[in-house]
Amino acid sequence: MTKVVCPGSFDPVTNGHVDIFRRAAHLFDEVVVTVLINESKKGLFSIEQRMDLLREAVADLDNVSVDSFRGLLVDYCRDHDVQAIVKGLRAVSDFDYELQMAQMNGSLTGIETVFIPTGPEFAYLASSLVKEVAKHGGDVTDLVPPHVLKALQEAYSRT
C-alpha cells in the first residue's frame, strides 16, 4: 500500500490544492494532507481552522486524510510510514525551489518526491493571492471551495 503526504500551509486551501489532492488520491492508496505548524508565521486562519477547512474540502475522498506536523517533513514521513511526498507545481519558478527541497529530503532519508503539474486553470492560483484579492473585496468565488469562500468573507469582515 502506497502512502503519500501532500504538505503545505494551506492558508487557505484553494481549488488548485484540491485538484492536486484529487489527482494524488487517484494515483496512490492513501494521501495525507499535512499542515505545517510554523510558530514564527501568523496565518489568517489558525492551524485548527485550516485543518477543518481541509477536511471539508476532501470529505468526498475516502483515501485522503488531514494531519499537521512541526519540524522536518522527513521526520513526519518516517514516523508515519509515508513512502513519498507529493508536491503540486504551478510554474518553472516552483520547480526550482521544490527540486532543491526534494533533493534535500531525499539525501536526508531517501524519501522520494513526486511532482504533479497543476491544471492550467489553476496555474496562477496561490493562497497569498487569494487572500489579497479577498481582503480587498475581490471575487474569489471560483478560486476556493464554497466553505472556504465563506470563511474568507467572515475573516475579512472582522478586520
β-partners of residue 112 are: 84
Domain 3-123, CATH 3.40.50.620 — does that match?
A: yes
* Helical H segments across the chain, by residue range: 15-27, 47-57, 73-79, 92-109, 127-135, 146-157
Adjacency order of strands within the sheet including 64-69: 64-69, 30-36, 3-8, 84-89, 112-117
What digits encode the pLDDT tens for the residues 77-104? 999 999 999 999 988 888 888 999 999 9
Is 48 annotated as belonging to a binding site?
Answer: no
pTM: 0.93
Is the pLDDT at 142 greater than 90? The verdict is: yes
Is 87 annotated as belonging to a binding site?
Answer: yes
- Any idea which residues carry the catalytic annotation? 17, 41, 90, 127
Domain boundaries, the chain: 3-123
Closest CA to 123 of 12, 39, 16, 29: 16
β-partners of residue 6 are: 33
